Amino acid sequence: MDLLLATAQTKFDVVINGVASSLRIPVVKAIRAMTCLPVMEAKEFIEDLPKTFKEGVTKDEAEEAKRQLEEAGATK
């Protein structure tokens, strides 16, 4: 049995690829809600995309972050 094939991925990254200019405020709010970043830091975070938002998180955490960001208007 090959252990590499039997091992499932357990850590995931969430990457924000883009945000439409009309949806910047909702995305900043979603980022702040998940990270407690100050407004200016959250705004600066989405200035230069794509960027990794969360790194090495569980599948559930990644899916929840993805859901919240996509609902706010971020693109995957």
- Write out pLDDT tens, residues 14-39: 999 999 999 999 999 999 999 999 99
CATH of the domain at 42: 3.30.1390.10
Long-range contacts of 38-46 (CB under 8 A, 24+ apart): 46/16, 46/19, 46/74
Q: Which comes out higher in pLDDT, residue 76 or 6?
A: 76
Instruction: Assign 1 a pLDDT band (cuts: 50, 70, 90).
Output: very low
* pLDDT one-digit tens code per residue, 38-57: 999 999 999 999 999 999 99
The answer to whether residue 10 sits within a structural domain is no
**Which residues on neighbouring strands pair with residue 51, listed in sequence order?**
16
Say yes or no to pLDDT of 73 above 50: yes
**Which residues on neighbouring strands pair with residue 75, listed in sequence order?**
18
Q: Which amino acid is at 35?
A: T
Buried b (16+ CB within 10 A) or exposed e, 41-63: ebbebbeeeeeebbeebeeeebe
The answer to whether residue 8 sits within a structural domain is no
Number of domains in the chain: 1
Say yes or no to pLDDT of 65 above 60: yes
The answer to whether residue 25 sits within a structural domain is yes
Q: What is the pLDDT of residue 15?
A: 93
Tokens of 35: 């990270």
The answer to whether residue 35 sits within a structural domain is yes
Domain of residue 44, residue span: 18-75
